[in-house]
Amino acid sequence: AETWEDVPLAPPDSIFKLTAAYKADTFPQKINLGVGAYRDDDNKPWVLPVIKKATQILLNDPDLDHEYLPITGLPEFTAAAGKLILGSDSPAIAEERAVSVQTISGTGANHLGALFLSKFYHWDGPKQIYLSDPTWANHHAIFKNVGIEPLNYPYYDPKTIALDYDHFIGTLQSAAPRSVFLFHACAHNPTGVDPTPDQWKAIADVVIEKNHYVFFDCAYQGFASGDLNKDAWAVRYFVQKNIPLLVCQSFAKNAGLYGERVGALHVVPPNKDAAARVKSQLSVLQRSEISNPPSHGARLVSLILTGTDLFEEWNRDIKTMSGRIISMRTELYRILTEELHTPGTWDHIINQIGMFSYTGINPDQAKALIDKAHVYLLSSGRISMAGLNSKNIRYFAENLDKAVR
Ligand code: PMP
């Protein structure tokens, strides 16, 4: 018998499939709203000016070599990345109990965090994690790969196109004590719907009462509001409340370093002693997974995070990206409500945050947009705001209007 005859053919990834269909389309006004990467007003990928500067600094460094990094990554990078997400005045950093390990971007941080929990979390029952319904599709696969069963908690209410707060809190309350919950730190993917600070506080209260463990995924710090501190608020609040947690961090979006795979996993144990033990085990896991992480992107981010001028410039670049996305939300809302008088309510377009928006349209309407208007989006109605620009937004709004009438 043939060696691989039992291997079933897997379906292509839905987002990459959508991009392929977009590329093959020859219609001049086609729009790709599937891709989760920033585009400028000319629909081009944007290399951040601060990244160009940092790259030049690296090129001019005569001492730069291509040796292996330590197993847990570039120390300057992990230390600065920890301060960025936890805050430089974080009690966890002051008490030397934050463990930071460099990972293969946010996906690698999720994987390493999941693997670590699978092996070392003190599971009272079956290995399970509560994921928001819906969530980034990869979360399901990442946890299944390490033997943790994904469960859903209610998150998004299609009727209100907003947070299903009551059912979310209800599930936190009814889950077994010490359950593991994954929260998106900001700019929830795919819905664009985040809890308000008051809702986060109430969520934290239940987490404390039930002794749950929090797995934060932070892929969009700064990219959501334009303010790095504001987007880290929930994580910092939970750390301040002494909630046991870990944070997955990605520099793909906020530094435009998609292909460089720069990220970190930060685990916050209760004391320095536990931190040393956690770090030792993360090193062991990392060793067999990737041996040591890649250096180039980590060096770039490290320069940006530790240089005063570069850090300020990075903040301006972040504002350029988040500002453009926010202005697309405002403009789309304005055209739909004031010019076209499109049926339905569209407040969610401006209330949601970050790159993605759940438009609230159904799969048939999404299909009509693809087939009739050459506008590519997911069947869930999720669009990437980064795919809109001053030249195509009218065309999109008019066709969205037609699709829902
Ligand atoms: N988590 C979420 C919620 C995301 O949206 C993404 C990016 N699509 C990631 C993690 C990880 O992305 P990356 O591996 O490119 O950092």
pLDDT digits (tens, 9 = 90+) for 182-198: 999 999 999 999 999 99
161-180 CB burial, b ≥16 within 10 A, e <16: bbbbbeebbebbeebeeebb
CA distance 344 to 4: 52
- The region, left, alpha or beta by phi > 0 then psi within -120 to 50, assigned to residue 12 is beta
Return the minimum-mean-pLDDT range out of 34-38, 58-62, 151-155, 308-312. 34-38
Residue 380 CB less than 6 A away from ligand 1: no
Assembly ipTM: 0.99
**What single-letter DSSP state applies at residue 135?**
-
Residue 402 has pLDDT above 90, yes or no: yes
pLDDT band at 327 (very low <50, low <70, confident <90, very high): very high
CA of 15 to the centre of ligand 1 (A): 13
**What single-letter DSSP state applies at residue 311?**
H
pLDDT of residue 1: 72
pLDDT of residue 306: 97
Residue 104 has pLDDT above 90, yes or no: yes
Neighbours of 208 (CB within 10 A): 14
What's the number of CA atoms in the CB half-sphere (13 Å) around residue 201? 3
CA of 256 to the centre of ligand 1 (A): 12
Residue 136 CB less than 6 A away from ligand 1: yes
- Of 295, 262, 264, the residue nearest 67 (C-alpha): 295
User: For residue 184, which atom of ligand 1 is closest to its CA?
Assistant: 3
Mean pLDDT over all residues of the chain? 96
pLDDT band at 24 (very low <50, low <70, confident <90, very high): very high
Averaged over 272-279, what is the pLDDT? Answer: 98
Please report, for residues 70, 182, 204, 345, the alpha-carbon distance to residue 199 in angstroms, rounded to integers and kept in the order given.
Answer: 40, 16, 9, 23
pLDDT of residue 35: 82
CA of 28 to the centre of ligand 1 (A): 30
Catalytic residues: 136, 217, 253
Strands of 58-174 (E only): list them: 99-104, 128-133, 149-154, 156-157, 162-163
Residue 131 CB less than 6 A away from ligand 1: no
Residue 107 CB less than 6 A away from ligand 1: yes
Residue 89 has pLDDT above 80, yes or no: yes
Tell how far CA 220 is from the center of its chain: 5
pLDDT of residue 13: 84
Q: Give pLDDT tens digits for 116-163.
A: 999 999 999 999 999 999 999 999 999 999 999 999 999 999 999 999
Cβ-Cβ contacts under 8 Å for 126 (sequence gap 6 or more): 149
pLDDT band at 47 (very low <50, low <70, confident <90, very high): very high
Rounded to 5°, angle at Cα 133 from 128 and 135: 85
Token pair recorded at residue 32: 């790709």
pLDDT band at 361 (very low <50, low <70, confident <90, very high): very high
- Of 156, 133, 136, 160, the residue nearest 348 (C-alpha): 160
pLDDT of residue 15: 84
Residue 135 CB less than 6 A away from ligand 1: no
pLDDT of residue 304: 98
pLDDT band at 336 (very low <50, low <70, confident <90, very high): very high
Rg, C-alpha atoms of the chain = 22
Give me the long-range contacts of 41-48 (CB less than 8 A, separation at least 24): 41/324, 41/389, 41/390, 41/391, 42/389, 43/387, 43/389, 43/391, 43/392, 45/256, 46/256, 46/321, 47/256, 48/255, 48/256, 48/314, 48/317
Residue 365 has pLDDT above 80, yes or no: yes
Neighbours of 396 (CB within 10 A): 24
